[in-house]
Amino acid sequence: MRMSRVLMLAVSLTFTSSVTVIAPAAEQPKVKDVSGLAEVDLEADEYYFEPAFLRGTPGQKLKLEIENESNTLHSFTIPEQKVDMDIPPKGKIVVEVTFPQSGLVGFFCKFHSALGMNGELLTGDAKPQAVRSPK
Ligand SMILES: [Cu+2]
């Protein structure tokens, strides 16, 4: 009798702690570490970039090879860096971006930003932010 009560307690504790561990991880967007890389592949589709969050070092220059997997015209746009390139359906572009000295800079598709087609270049330990509206 006493043994089974102890067992029940152990089971419920295990369950509670595993739930606690899993929940915060699911809320965090996935960030790809590209520190030290010169080039990385991105996918553009309806309606997202993958990966959408890239982590680099201050001032790092990175070539993005972006492939449009969809039949829809997308763009890759960073107003602060005067980058605004269309990505034709099933097409591919190469664009060079620069990580900020600190914090983050956002990029987006100018046609589908409102649908969540956004991403961020994060420097150092900057945390992903809720995506800003481009206007
Ligand atoms: Cu788009």
Q: Measuring CA to CA, which residue among 38, 40, 39, 43 is closest to residue 91?
A: 43
Q: What is the pLDDT of residue 131?
A: 72
**DSSP label of 128:** P
Q: What angle do CA 32, 37, 43 make, to 5 degrees?
A: 50
* Distance (Å) from CA 91 to ligand 1 centroid: 13
Q: Give the pTM.
A: 0.78
Q: What is the pLDDT of residue 12?
A: 46
Paired sense of beta strands 31-33 and 39-45, if any: unpaired
Which residues of the chain are modeled with pLDDT < 50? 10-14, 16-20, 22-23, 134-135
Cα 118 to middle of ligand 1, angstroms: 9
pLDDT of residue 129: 86
List CB-based neighbours of ion ligand 1 within 5 Å: 74, 109, 111-112, 117
pLDDT of residue 2: 56
The rounded Å distance from CA 110 to ligand 1 centre is: 7
Distance from Cα 135 to the centre of ligand 1, integer Å: 16
| Percent of the chain that is helix, strand, coil (3-state, to 5) | 25, 40, 35
CATH number, span 31-123: 2.60.40.420
CA of 18 to the centre of ligand 1 (A): 38
Do the Cβ atoms of 124 and 114 come closer than 8 Å? no
